[in-house]
């Protein structure tokens, strides 16, 4: 544990993922209490230290405050951004080796000067098993704590504690805020990958789902209702999306120019798709995307009356035109922005270029500090679950 902790301290400092104790330049922070529990689909980590701390001056102090998920992941608190909502950095554990640290989609809040709470999806940190063991760990700078003869490492609990997870089933989301959306907050370094026109088989939709799961990236899929029975008869593909933390949205029943249709037909296109998604998964969507981006004020109002927000985009790599993998990557990364919604496709034609572009897109955006979120997370929507729990 001691050697591993020293490795983690060096990683945390290099990634900007440490925490400094106020008024104490030596040793590790003493831990007063720590807990890890499941709340709906998320894990909630809460830690309290014996004294106040701030997520600042981290590199100079070479300290860290982290959650260890045994044999799976290290999650360390970062110092960039708001001091009351610091980021959380994830490093994959492979044997005795720590992978590169990158920021994950997490809600981190300071509930007191000596307290911190972080919520995140298990899949975002590589947790796929039904149970896990964990410890909170505080690490001090080795050169300081050894010279001062104080503790370099504090862990709590003393032995890894067990958490058993139960898979909650998402049943819906609640529309709120503006009825027409082109992007998220320009002040948050978040970006949402979205995909239209599936489910599909060229390549199979599961190829997208598996790739995104390997990369720990949640996405949003806007589906054509009439294609669900053709390409996902049992609903297993869509349930895999939801199980991985992805979002499903309505992309109409037959992909028409909705603005050109009479109101009754518009309603039918939306309602039939909502029912098809609900029948396949038990999930009722609260998001829809108009084919071709064609909208009208009346259409937006109709969708909202059905509980659906109209979701547009502000990053368009035009992957539907098959411009080539490099062009798709360059377009997405060049136009990336805070609150970005990337519109790509997982159906409606051969989408191998889009699939092949994704790993490099993700790597480049992640290197620039972007946090990948679903559209629901981008808009801070409330999710509903079969357990009766809700997530804000």
Average pLDDT over residues 248-254: 98
Q: Which sequence spans correspond to the domains of the chain?
A: 2-164, 170-391
pLDDT score, position 83: 65
Q: What percent of the chain has pLDDT over 70?
A: 87
**Residues 67-113 pLDDT 10s:** 999 999 999 988 765 667 788 999 999 887 888 898 888 888 888 88
State CA 80 to chain mean position distance.
Answer: 18
pLDDT band at 293 (very low <50, low <70, confident <90, very high): very high
Average pLDDT over residues 14-25: 40
Distance from C-alpha of 153 to C-alpha of 142, rounded to nearest angstrom: 9
Q: What percent of the chain has pLDDT over 90?
A: 67
pLDDT score, position 81: 59
Contacts within 8 Å (CB) and 24+ apart, 78-84: 78/15, 78/16, 78/17, 78/18, 78/103, 79/16, 79/17, 79/18, 79/19, 79/20, 79/55, 80/16, 80/369, 81/189, 83/54, 83/55, 83/56, 83/110, 84/109, 84/110
Distance from C-alpha of 212 to C-alpha of 45, rounded to nearest angstrom: 24
**Residues 213-241 pLDDT 10s:** 999 899 999 999 999 999 999 999 999 99
DSSP 124: G
End-to-end alpha-carbon separation of the chain, Å? Answer: 36
DSSP 213-231: HHTT---EEEE-HHHHHHH
390 or 57: which leads in pLDDT = 57
Q: Which residue has the tokens 């032995």?
A: 159
239 and 216 Cβ atoms separated by less than 8 Å: no
| Strand partners of residue 311 | 181
Can you say whether the dihedral through the CA atoms of 128, 133, 136, 139 is positive or negative?
negative
User: Could you list the active site residues?
Assistant: 196, 345
CATH number of 170-391: 3.20.20.370
């Amino acid at each position: 544990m001691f050697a591993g902790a020293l490795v983690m301290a060096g990683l945390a400092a290099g990634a900007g993922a440490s925490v400094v104790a106020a008024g104490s330049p030596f040793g590790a922070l003493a831990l007063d209490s720590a807990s890890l529990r499941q709340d709906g689909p998320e894990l909630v980590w809460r830690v309290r230290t014996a004294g106040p701390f701030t997520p600042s001056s981290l590199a100079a102090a070479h300290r860290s405050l982290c959650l260890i998920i045994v044999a799976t992941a290290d999650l360390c608190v970062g110092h960039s951004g708001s001091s009351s909502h610091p980021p959380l950095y994830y490093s994959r554990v492979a044997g005795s080796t720590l992978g590169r640290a990158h920021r994950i989609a997490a809600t981190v809040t300071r509930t007191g000067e000596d307290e911190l709470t972080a919520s995140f999806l298990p899949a975002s940190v590589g947790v796929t098993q039904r149970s896990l063991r964990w410890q909170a760990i505080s690490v001090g700078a080795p050169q300081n704590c050894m010279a001062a003869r104080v503790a370099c490492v504090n862990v709590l609990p003393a032995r890894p504690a067990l958490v058993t997870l139960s898979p909650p089933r998402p049943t819906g989301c609640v529309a709120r805020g503006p009825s027409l959306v082109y992007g998220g907050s320009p002040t948050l370094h978040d970006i949402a990958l979205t995909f239209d026109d599936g489910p599909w088989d060229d390549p199979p939709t599961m190829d997208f789902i598996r790739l995104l799961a390997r990369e720990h990236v949640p996405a949003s899929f806007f589906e054509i209702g009439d294609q669900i029975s053709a390409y996902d008869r049992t609903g297993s593909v869509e349930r895999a999306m939801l199980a991985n933390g992805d979002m499903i949205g309505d992309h109409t029943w037959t992909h028409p120019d909705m603005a050109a249709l009479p109101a009754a037909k518009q309603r039918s296109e939306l309602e039939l798709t909502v029912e098809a998604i609900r029948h396949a998964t038990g999930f009722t969507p609260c998001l829809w995307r108009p084919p071709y981006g064609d909208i009208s004020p009346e259409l937006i109002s109709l969708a909202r009356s059905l509980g659906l927000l109209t979701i547009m985009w502000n990053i368009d790599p035009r992957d539907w035109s098959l411009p080539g993998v490099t062009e798709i990557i360059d377009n997405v990364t060049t136009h990336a922005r805070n609150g970005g919604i990337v519109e790509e496709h997982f159906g409606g034609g051969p989408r191998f270029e889009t699939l092949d572009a994704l790993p490099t897109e993700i790597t480049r955006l992640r290197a620039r500090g972007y946090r990948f979120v679903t559209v629901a997370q981008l808009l801070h929507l409330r999710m509903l679950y079969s357990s009766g729990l809700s997530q804000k």
